Amino acid sequence: EPEVTQTPSHQVTQMGQEVILRCVPISNHLYFYWYRQILGQKVEFLVSFYNNEISEKSEIFDDQFSVERPDGSNFTLKIRSTKLEDSAMYFCASSLGLAGYNEQFFGPGTRLTVL
Amino acid sequence: SQQGEEDPQALSIQEGENATMNCSYKTSINNLQWYRQNSGRGLVHLILIRSNEREKHSGRLRVTLDTSKKSSSLLITASRAADTASYFCAIIDRGSTLGRLYFGRGTQLTVWP
């Protein structure tokens, strides 16, 4: 069964460093998302992406964050200068059809630890 | 807040028993989705129920939706130890085509063998 994959599974970085989290959505899906979950807290929406541009972003997704679909398969989240409070599990998700009406399938997550 | 809120926060049952988790929300919705998360792992999609649906089944799972009460329930019948996980409801606002999911805090289900 097709699934969303994410790499790496765990990333440790120093505060102020740039990180790139990678995702391979399900191949025929058209809508892509990033969410994060700080330990013990709710899963929070970061950004949605469709047709090679951001559709919606939350207040968390500030200028330090960017997303890109550099080729036909990868979808990346970049954090330019990491802060301690960026430590969280980051989930990528994808959806086949019109995003408000279809299931979103999540990857296994990347655990980001900022020291 | 549009977010779904699950109830109870924690549920502990024996194998073979049924587990019922509830979700309440405040806005009008397109759909409501239930997810499972094993400790420290990813989110597994369980069921999507649309705003014009009242009940859906998938294997041992039964989801109901009452839009007049802005609530949903997830029933797991004949539970197994492997069902131990956190269960989340997530909503999409009515009219949203962008797919932003709002999650609740989850119900931690423990099934004892």
The predicted structure's pLDDT at residue B39: 81
Mean pLDDT across chain B: 91
Are B103 and A43 inside 8 Å of each other by CB?
yes
Residue holding tokens 């020291």? A115
Mean pLDDT of B9-33: 93
Residue B97 pLDDT greater than 70, yes or no: no
pLDDT band at B55 (very low <50, low <70, confident <90, very high): very high
pLDDT band at B61 (very low <50, low <70, confident <90, very high): very high
Q: Quick one: residue A21, left, alpha or beta (phi over 0 = left, psi -120 to 50 = alpha)?
A: beta
Residues in A lying within 8 Å of B, measured between beta carbons: 31, 33, 35, 41-45, 48, 50, 55-56, 58, 89, 91, 93, 95, 98-109, 111
Q: What is the distance in angstroms between the Cα of B43 and the nearest Cα belonging to chain A?
A: 6
| Contact predicate B7/B106, CB 8 Å | no
DSSP state of A80: S
Calculate the CA dihedral of residues B14, B15, B18, B22 and round it to 10 degrees: 70
Domain of B46, in residue numbers? 5-112
Domain boundaries defined on chain A: 5-96
The predicted structure's pLDDT at residue A72: 79
Mean pLDDT of B18-22: 96
Instruction: Among A31, A50, A106, select the one facing B43 at the smallest CB separation.
Output: A106
Using CA atoms, how far apart are residues B22 and B88, in angstroms rounded to an integer?
10
Residues in B lying within 8 Å of A, measured between beta carbons: 3, 30-31, 33, 35, 40-45, 48, 50, 88, 90, 92-93, 95-106
Q: What is the distance in angstroms between the Cα of B89 and the nearest Cα belonging to chain A?
A: 11
What residue of B is the nearest CA neighbor of A57? B100
Chain B residues with CB under 8 Å of A44 CB are: 103
Identify each DSSP E strand in A1-115 by its residue range. Answer: 5-7, 10-13, 19-24, 31-37, 43-50, 53-57, 65-68, 75-79, 88-95, 105-106, 110-114
What residue of B is the nearest CA neighbor of A96? B99
Using CA atoms, how far apart are residues B16 and B78, in angstroms rounded to an integer?
4
Residue B42 pLDDT greater than 80, yes or no: yes
The predicted structure's pLDDT at residue B93: 81
End-to-end CA distance of chain A: 37
Mean pLDDT of B80-107: 88
The predicted structure's pLDDT at residue B99: 79
The predicted structure's pLDDT at residue A69: 92
CATH number at residue B81: 2.60.40.10
Mean pLDDT of B15-28: 94
Beta-carbon contacts of A59 under 8 Å, excluding residues fewer than 6 positions away, are none
What is the tally of structural domains in chain B?
Answer: 1
The predicted structure's pLDDT at residue A54: 93
Q: What is the pLDDT along chain A (115 residues), one digit of tens a residue?
A: 789 999 999 999 999 999 999 999 999 899 999 999 998 889 999 999 998 999 899 999 999 999 999 887 899 999 999 999 999 999 999 998 765 678 899 999 999 999 9
Instruction: Among A43, A56, A106, select the one facing B98 at the smallest CB separation.
Output: A56
The predicted structure's pLDDT at residue B1: 52
CATH superfamily of A5-96: Immunoglobulins (2.60.40.10)
Are A48 and B99 inside 8 Å of each other by CB?
yes
pLDDT band at B2 (very low <50, low <70, confident <90, very high): low
